[in-house]
Structure formats: C-alpha cells, structure tokens
Amino acid sequence: MPSDQRMSYWKKTGFIATVVIVLAFPAYLARKYIERSGPVTKSGPFYTGRASCVECHKKEDDLWAGSHHDLAMDTASASTVLGNFENCEFRHNGQTHRMFRKEGKYFVNTNGPDGKFEDFQVAYTFGYTPLQQYLVPFEGGKLQCLPIAWDTERKRWFHLGDTVYSGQEIKPDNWLYWTNQAQNWNGMCADCHSTNLQKNFDPQTNTYRTTWSEIDVSCEACHGPASGHIEWASLPEGSRLDDVNTGLIVRTRNLDNKELLNVCTRCHSRRSIMSDYDNNNEDLLNYIVPQLIISPVYHADGQILEEDYEYASFTQSKMFEKGIKCNDCHDSHSVKTLKPDNQLCLKCHRPDIYDNSSHHYHKMQVAGAAALINRGKPEYLQGTGSQCVNCHMVGRFYMGNDYRRDHSFRNPRPDLTASIGTPNACNDCHKDKSVKWSRGYIDKWYGTRKRPHYGETFAAANRMDPKAIPDLILYAGNELFPLMVRATAVSLLANFNDSLSRRAMEKALSDPASLVRHSAINGFNQEDIKSFEKLVKPLLNDPVKGIRIEAAIRLSAVPEEQLSDPVKKARREALQEYRDVNLYVSDFPGGRYNLAIMYANAGDLERAAESYRSAIRIDNLFYMAKVNLANVYNQQGKNDEAEKLLREVLNDNPEIHQVCYSLALLLAEKGNIEESRKYFLKAVGLLPEEHRILYNLALLENSQGNKKVAEEYLLKALDKEPGNYDFLYAICTFYLENRMNSKAAFYAGQLAVKYPANPVGKQLQELAGK
C-alpha cells in the first residue's frame, strides 16, 4: 500500500502510564492477598518501622499520631471504621445497599462484578476525614474501593459516582465501575497511603502480590529506610560520622524549597509513575512525570479543575518563586497548618498592610454571623471575605465532599473570567453577582491596569490560534517564568507546525530543566527524519530516565543499520527502561498501549496486536488503542477487522474526527470508492486544517478518471500549503500524465526552488520540457 494511503497512527507515542489519581472506588472475595513485607534478607538500608523511631523522636511521633498520614489506611476494626455498619440501609438510584456486621467483621451488600447484589467483606479503611472509603479484597491480590463512602462530617453514606461521574451511567462492563481496573487500589492509590509499597504486579497472570512495611504513611515513607540511621545513632557521639543526614538515604534536612518539594511531590502531585519509589532526592522525572497545567485537568490560567494534589499549582506561585517551603505553612509531622486563619499568612505578610480593610475591602469576621443567602459549597459566612485564603486560595470539592484549596496563591482576576472563562474568587462567593460587577470593584479598588497572564496565551493555544506562538516561545525560553509554565508552553507549541515553533522546541530539547526537555521530546515532531534523529539521539543518554525512554520510543522505528554502534547501544538500553516502565504499569491500559507501540515500531505486529487487545480488555472504551490496533490489522492484511474497529470507534466517539479520515483511507484501499468518498468529504468539513485530506481526495478521484475534480482538490490543497512537497509532486505528475506540460513545468520549478537539495524538481522540469 502506498505510504500516502496508509492509515496513520492515532498517536505515535504513548503517554507513559496511566495518571495516578486517588479517586478510588473498587473489589471482593474473602481471601487476603495483601501482605506485609517479609524479613529483610538483602544488604543495604532496610525498613525498621515506626516503633524504632519513637524512643528518640517522641515529639515528632506525638505530632504524627492521629494525622491524615497516620490514618491514611488501616485494617477494618471497631477502632478504625467510622461508618455506620449497624444494619444500615442506603438507597441510591432506586436500589438499596446494606452495611452490616457479622462475627466482628464488616460487610456491604451491594452490586458485584455482574451487577447482581452480593455480600462483600470490608478488609481495610481508606482515609479518615472528610470521607472514609472501604477496601474489599478480590481474586488475584486486588483490592477495590467501594463506590459508597462515609461522610464523616454529616454522618451519612453517599455514592461517589454522584459527583465524580455525575451524569454518567457506569455499568459493570465500564472500566470505571467499582470492580474494574480504574478503581483498583494496588495501582491507583496504594503507593501514597502506605509505607514502602511494592506493587508486584505480574503481567503474565494479571495478579498482584502487593506488600508494604507499614500500612499507613509512617516515618520511613518520607525519611526512607531507617536502618542506617539507627546504626549511626547507636554509636557514641564521638564515633559518629560527620553526616548531615545522620545515616538516612533520603535527605530531609537543610533542603531548599525545590528539594523539599521533591520529597512531597511523589504523592502530592497528579502524575504518571514509572516504578515503585526508590528513596532518593534525584530528579523527579526518574520515577514520576508530573502533570502539566493543560486542559482538561487545569483551567487555561493554571487554576485547578480536576484533582491535582498541589505540586503543579504551587510551582506556579510567587510563594514558590520566593523560596517558600511546604513546612513554612504545614507542620511536617502533623501536616496541619502552623497557625490558624490569617495568622498563618501574617508570619510573613505585614498585618498593618494586608490584614486590613484598606487591602481586602471586606468586613472582618463576626462570631455567629449568618451565612450568605447565595452560599453554595463551601459555605461563606459574612466576614469571611477578609480571610486571605478565600481570595487567594479558592478551592474545589473532590470525592464528593473533600474541599481542597488551590495552592497557586493567585490574585482574583474577573477580567480573565470575562476574556477566557476561568473562575475568580469574587464570583466564587458572590454567586448572585455578574462578572462585570466583580470586575468593577476590582478595578475600583486596585486599578484598571492588569499584568499580562499566561492563561490568555494558553487559552489561545488551545484554540489553535497562531497568534499565541510568539508568547508561547517567550514563556518556553525565559527561565524567569515558573518552570511549570515554561514546560506547559513547550507542550502547547506542539499544536503548531511552523518554523518558529519547531525552532523553539528544538531549543527546549537541550534546556537545563528536565521537565522542559521532557515536554519538548514528548511533543516534538519533525518532518525531516534525519534532522529529527540528529536532535533526539543525544537524549538517549540524558541523565534523566523519563527523557531517555521518551527519546527511545521516538527513535524506535529507525532501522538498526541506520544507527552507529554507540547509538544502537544507548537506544537498546533506553528501550529496555521503556519496557520495564510500561511492564510496571501494565495493569492499566496505558502500559499495554505503550508496549504495543514499541512492538509495532520494531515490526513485531503480532505482539503489538496482542498488547493493544490487552489494553482494550482492561478498558473497552480506550479508543486510541482501537485505532492503533486497526492500523496493525491493516498492515497484517486484516482490513475487515480494521474496518470493524474504526466503525466501532466512530460510533462510540463521533467527536473524534480523525477516525473519519482514517476510515476513508481504509475504505479507499479496500476499493469501496463510494463510501470512501463520503467519509473523505465528511472529514474535509470536520477537519478543515487537515489539508492532506484534499490531497487524498484528489488521488481517489484521479484513480476513478475524474480528472477535473482531482485537479480542483490538488489546487485547493496547494493553496492551503504552497510549499508542501507531496502536493507539489502530485500536481506535477498529474499535469505530466495529462500532457499539460506547461503547467507541470511551472510547479516543477517551484519544487526545484523550494527543495534545491532534492533532484526530483529538476528531473520533472526536464520531463515537462520534452
């Protein structure tokens, strides 16, 4: 099949794991597979448990006891279960679920894997306040979170689906259903709720043998294994090595704000993960890839939208820029704020300037004041407008009732609400007022002059507006802007295929910041394969694993004979890392999908097909895997199966317009001309920026002898992209075939001028002159 009629991959590179989100729901079978780690037999530092710390660190232990870290997970018992299991009924969507106790154990009667009601034993509690969830063991070592949770504030049961998946009917065959993989504890939640979590997933048997050293987030979850520290502390003071880290392998003292944030970020970030945590302060991208501030996870200006867990928000802030650390506001052991209300902010900000109505223009809070009439969630009381957090840390509810504040510490910007539709603090409280009303007061109090905001540029980039390009380049290349903003700007430059954007991304490939380099290699696209290889090859030896493996998969389709021996070796090693990462996350569809891309690029189509099928078995709505599997089937000559898949995707996802184009290409290859033409024409309307569709339509019409129509489509394609090599070549050969040599000579001349290193243009000129 000609390359110009071969279906393109929906996405050439994978997304390196499913983002880990603590959104749980999940599982069954009264057999306990989750185990504590066995006795340590290997050499090197090992975990000793919290009890070994208390003797010397009682103050810290007292602060930790009862904290959210302490109560992150526990065995279900009378002292840990907060929900009402006294034969309590909960009605939801016309069904009655029952929570009860039997022989000292906790059970729920609810829908099972097939939708029928069964009794499930609760093995563990998960979380403490404002909601507590419950884990149920399933076959194969899985723990799943029930979709019914206990509201610890209102003392009632509620269904997480009402808020997390509002408006969606989640049936048992949907991967979001509580007994399926999206709600699996082992891969989605476990690593941040227990200490020394080892997932131990076996991709061959699809089973887990997950272990921990302590069930909750204990001392060694942050400080690392304590054996070396205990050995250091047991020596007489004069015999101790001069070790600022006192024998611990994780540095937690004398850290700057970036280093301390790295300790917290492995959990307090929305991220993709690459392995079990290996206790180091190295670059984050050696074991996780933090989520950038892009849609649909964040608003265009970087405010939180979906769950994000602080990191990406905080790294946008002036606080972070000025060196503020997590423990400047939060106690590292109790995790509580160091002072209540505005007192916390006034540790640094002058009260005579900021805790004053001349700054916030609101009444001070009065005890017993009535709630505002227009209150929603949260409940704003009269006077709370004077609280710093209500203007600078507006939050959102997650998991139904968990209110989390945005840690980007931003000023209210109703002007951005008006221009790009992002939220603002004023209307978060004053819901009965207009944005114009809020903007009027902000202008009156603080002036009409506003600083340009990257949100405006990011919103334009999301609309594919080329006017965003100069500012994206500015944000990407200027180290004075927050790292998260720079990396996001680089990722958005990938939306554009112009020379300025490409040069900016080429420059970003060698940026000192790993997150910027990762964004560049992840989104980089270069039509000139040789130039692409030259730019990407050095990243195979990047010091950061997340970048090496991205470079490896981008170069994985290059034949071995085209690579030098050192590059072959580097690619082989980086691809092995890529394989290991995706085997680690192969309990989720993203891991299988990424492995399939690697196999397909290596020409192992059968293994690629099986990996795509495995991804679809885990998530039957994973359309990218279906489109790529259709491409593999096409290469294997299984075009009927490919067509069936593409039609299925198009039926389920009519908004995925690229599939319409792919189906048109496949139908053309199968000789179904009428339907192919129909889908090509539909794709032209749905994808006006995809000019190659016009080119493919021209080839189709020319093959049917419709010369006039073919010429019109080729000229339209050239009008859109005058310098496109394929379009120029096609129009030249079209005119030569139809003995219109003068027209052929004109376009052959353009080809020769635009591509002087390619002899084809001159050769066509010679043919046209005969």
164: pLDDT strictly greater than 70: yes
Mean pLDDT on 246-268: 92
Residues 6+ apart with CB under 8 A from 237: none
- In angstroms, the CA 247 to CA 56 distance is 15
Quick: pLDDT tens for 416-456: 999 999 999 999 999 999 999 999 999 999 999 999 999 99
CA–CA gap between residue 685 and residue 694 (Å, rounded): 11
Does the pLDDT of residue 596 top 80, yes or no?
yes
Report the pLDDT value the prediction gives residue 345, as an integer from 0 to 100: 96
- Model confidence at 527, pLDDT cuts 50, 70, 90, reads low
Query: What value does the mean pLDDT take over residues 611-619?
Result: 97
Q: Which amino acid is at 93?
A: N
- Given this model, what pLDDT does residue 230 score? 94
685 pLDDT tier (thresholds 50, 70, 90): very high
Convert the pLDDT of each residue in 493-517 to its tens digit.
999 988 899 999 999 999 999 999 9
Asked whether residue 723 carries a pLDDT value surpassing 80, the answer given is yes
Distance, CA of 262 to CA of 280 (rounded, Å):
9
Return the sign of the alpha-carbon dihedral for residues 533, 536, 540, 546. negative
How crowded is the C-beta side of 523, counted as CA atoms within 13 Å? Answer: 26
- Residue 204 burial class via C-beta count within 10 angstroms: exposed 0-12, middle 13-18, buried 19 and up: exposed
Q: What integer is the mean pLDDT of 750-761?
A: 91
Tokens representing 361? 């223009």
| Helix or strand run (H / E) with residue 109 | strand 105-111
Do 460 and 300 contact (CB within 8 A), yes or no?
A: no
Q: What average pLDDT does range 55-80 have in this prediction? A: 97
CA-based nearest residue to 18, from 622, 661, 710: 622
**Of all helices (H) and strands (E), which one includes residue 46?**
none
The average pLDDT across 511-535 equals 87
Q: Is the pLDDT of residue 42 over 70?
A: no
Q: 79 burial class (0-12, 13-18, 19+ CB within 10 angstroms)?
A: exposed
Confidence of residue 708 (pLDDT cuts 50, 70, 90): very high
| 765 and 749 Cβ atoms separated by less than 8 Å | yes
pLDDT at 240: 85
Q: Residue written as tokens 């710093």?
A: 388
pLDDT tier, 671 (very low <50, low <70, confident <90, very high otherwise): very high
pLDDT at 25: 27
Contact between 182 and 175 (Cβ < 8 Å): yes
Q: Which residue has the higher pLDDT, 376 or 271?
A: 271
Which helix (H) or strand (E) covers residue 144, if one does? strand 143-145
Helices (H), 371-468: 388-392, 414-420, 425-429, 435-446, 454-462
Strand partners, 289: 272
Candidate from 240-254, 308-322, 600-614, 715-729 with smallest mean pLDDT: 240-254
Residues near 248 by beta carbon (within 8 Å), at least 6 away in sequence: 223, 224, 226, 228, 229
CA 93 and chain centroid, separation = 31
The whole-angstrom separation of Cα 78 and Cα 70 is 17
Q: How far is it, in rounded angstroms, from Cα 303 to Cα 585? A: 29
Both tokens of 699, joined, read 């080839």
The backbone torsions φ and ψ at residue 221, rounded to the nearest 5 degrees and listed phi first, read -65, -35
The DSSP annotation for 165-217 comes to TTT----TTSTTSTTSGGGBHHHHTGGGTSBS-B--EETTTTEE--EESBSS-
Give the pLDDT of residue 34: 38
Quick one: which of 559, 591, 554 has its CA closest to 574?
Answer: 554
Question: What residue has token string 């990257």?
Answer: 454
pLDDT band at 36 (very low <50, low <70, confident <90, very high): very low
Check pLDDT > 70 for residue 33: no
The predicted-structure confidence for 282-326, as pLDDT tens digits, reads as follows: 899 999 999 999 999 999 999 999 998 999 999 999 999 999 999
As a whole number of angstroms, the distance between CA 276 and CA 273 comes to 8
Phi, psi of 136 (to 5 degrees): -120, 130
| Least-confidence region, from 191-205, 234-248, 524-538, 610-624 | 524-538
The region of weakest confidence among 26-30, 54-58, 251-255, 491-495 is 26-30
**Per-residue pLDDT at 528:** 62
Residue where the block lists tokens 């729920």: 108
**DSSP three-state, residue 475:** helix
Contact 257, 287 (CB under 8 A): no
Whether the CB-CB separation of 694 and 717 falls below 8 Å is answered with yes
126 and 145 Cβ atoms separated by less than 8 Å: yes
Residue 20, beta-bridge partner list: 271
Buried-exposed string 213-247: b where 16+ CB fall within 10 A, e elsewhere: bbbbbbbbbbbbbbbbbbebbeeeeeeeeeeebbb
Distance CA 262, CA 544 (A): 15
Q: Are 595 and 624 in contact (CB under 8 A)?
A: no
Average pLDDT value for residue range 141-153? 97
Measured torsion, CA atoms of residues 21, 23, 27, 32, in degrees rounded to the nearest 10: 60
Strand partners, 137: 143
CB proximity list for 11: less than 8 A, separation 6 or greater: 624, 628
Mean pLDDT of 77-97: 97
* Distance, CA of 634 to CA of 630 (rounded, Å): 6
Average pLDDT, the chain: 90
Query: 470 preceded by cis ω (within 30°)?
Result: no
pLDDT of residue 391: 95
Max CA-CA distance within the chain? Answer: 97
Q: Do the Cβ atoms of 99 and 149 come closer than 8 Å? A: no
Instruction: Kindly state the DSSP code that residue 366 receives in the 8-state scheme.
Output: -
Give the model's confidence band at 253: pLDDT under 50 very low, under 70 low, under 90 confident, else very high.
confident
Tell which wins on pLDDT, 32 or 344. 344
Degrees (nearest 5) of the Cα angle 716, 717, 721? Answer: 120
pLDDT digits (tens, 9 = 90+) for 370-402: 554 344 556 667 778 899 999 999 999 999 999
Judged by DSSP in three states, 92 sits in strand
pLDDT of residue 39: 42
End-to-end CA distance of the chain: 31
How does DSSP classify residue 363?
A: P
Which token pair is 742? Answer: 């003068």
Residue keyed to tokens 């609760």: 122
Query: Cα–Cα distance between 422 and 497 in angstroms, integer?
Result: 27
CB 117 within 8 A of CB 124: no
DSSP secondary structure letters along 540-586: GG-SSHHHHHHHHHHTTTS-GGGS-HHHHHHHHHHHHHHHHHHHHTT
Alpha-carbon distance of 255 to 259, in angstroms, equals: 6
| Residue position matching structure tokens 């802030």 | 317
Q: Nearest 5°: phi and psi at 282? A: -70, -175
Q: State the pLDDT at residue 498.
A: 86
- pLDDT band of 368, cuts 50, 70, 90: low
Is residue 324 a contact partner of residue 257, using CB atoms and an 8 Å limit?
A: yes
Range in 231-240, 416-425, 575-584 with the lowest mean pLDDT: 231-240
Mean of pLDDT values over 618-645: 96
State the Cα torsion 571-576-578-581 to the nearest 10°: -160
Helix (H, G, I), strand (E, B) or coil at 380: coil
Give the rounded distance of the alpha carbon of 50 from its chain centre.
33
Which residues in 317-331 are b (16+ Cβ under 10 Å) and which e?
Answer: bebbeeebbbbebee
